Amino acid sequence: MSVLTVKPSFPNHLMVETLIQQLQAGHHLAVMLDYDGTLTPIVSRPEEAQLDTEGLQTLVDLATHPQIRLALISGRSVEQLQGFIHSILPQPILLAGLHGGQVWDALNNQCLAEPDENLVNLKAQFLQDVYNHILTKYGELPQGITFEEKGYSFALHYRLADETTGLDVHQIFQNAFDLDAIVHNAFRIQAGHSVIEIVPKPFNKGEGVRFCVDYWQKQDPKARLFPVFAGDDKTDEVGLKATLALGGAGIAVGVDPQEMLALKHEEQEALWVLKDPAEMQSVLKALVQALPSIENASNALSPLLEERARERGGS
């Protein structure tokens, strides 16, 4: 991914104003956020992608507002996402891990979607095959190459490896996948920032977006949802596409929309653009700061919203 050099197509303050206008019009914001590269910067070691206290508080402020629904949609497993935000749980947040294939209700501690258990064994065998191929060529795992276990999938990271080794190991992974018909039938390759992984075929962030929106709509059939999804790389393109198709707003973080080749030209043009995760955090914080003005401007919340506010205030 290249460094963002284009001028943002939609100034940050207008993003916030647009979202506030949706709330003032009686809509509920369905805010769905990628994690790595969107909420937190891309780091050399994936386990170090931690939100600071202020960032965690912003999530709480969004999740507990009666007109906002919040989800994290990530390639991480639900268990990893739980680890990153455990200090604020339980909260009314959906955690959609494995690109949307695994969904957990963090308020009620309830699993809403879980993949086929048979995929775990198939994935484990393929992981071992890739590992053996690397050992055959190098004699040991090269410096800077790490495997990330995700339960139903796994990723091979090479951010810390030299470029030649990283590209070579990436190709070893790709070749092993191409030659394994069974794995090829059940999984697909997903590439990201110096990472390659296998993901069960039904899993993608577009499905994750649709699952979350459908779930919230079933929970509150009268709510008028305005979806918002933010992401930063190729794995997020289908999530952005799905959000736009639902009439919502897509936010590209740290990437030129013209590089998002899964999107049509008009979809690329429709995206809001932020420079980096720091700007993403700034927009979310500005939205939180503007929320009291919405409440003060309203004579009264609807009976449903009043009930929600009382319930959350007493919890």
Start and end residues for every CATH 3.30.70 domain found in the chain: 118-200
Q: In what order do the strands lie in the sheet with 154-157?
A: 146-149, 154-157, 195-200, 187-192
207-260 pLDDT per residue, tens: 999 999 999 999 999 999 999 999 999 899 999 999 999 999 999 999 999 999
Residues of the chain within CATH 3.40.50.1000 domain(s) are: 12-113+205-313
State the pLDDT confidence band at 116, using cuts at 50, 70 and 90.
confident
For residue 6, pLDDT over 50 is answered with no
Q: Give me the pLDDT at residue 117, please.
A: 82
Per-residue pLDDT tens digits for 49-91: 899 999 999 999 999 999 999 999 999 999 999 999 999 999 9
Q: Which CATH number fits domain 118-200: 3.30.420, 3.10.350, 3.30.70, 1.10.10?
A: 3.30.70
Q: What is the pLDDT of residue 7?
A: 45
pLDDT value for 32: 98
How sure is the predictor about 167, in pLDDT bands with cuts at 50, 70 and 90?
very high
- Mention the CATH class of domain 12-113+205-313: alpha beta
Given this model, what pLDDT does residue 10 score?
66
Which residue(s) pair with 103 in the sheet? 96, 113
SS3 state at 268: helix
Most confidently predicted of 2-6, 275-279, 291-295 = 275-279
Percent of the chain at pLDDT exceeding 70: 90
Q: How far apart are CA 231 and CA 222, in angstroms?
A: 28
Tell me the average pLDDT across 196-211.
93
- Range scoring the smallest mean pLDDT among 29-33, 115-119, 243-247, 309-313: 309-313
Which has the closest alpha carbon to 218: 64, 30, 91? 30
Q: Tens of pLDDT along 91-110?
A: 999 999 999 999 999 999 99
How many Cα neighbours within 13 Å face the side chain of 275?
Answer: 7
Phi, psi values for residue 94, rounded to 5° = -90, 130
Mean pLDDT within 16-36: 96
Question: Whole-number mean pLDDT of the chain?
Answer: 89
Could you give the 3-state DSSP secondary structure of residue 152? coil
Query: What is the rounded CA–CA span in Å between residue 40 and residue 10?
Result: 21
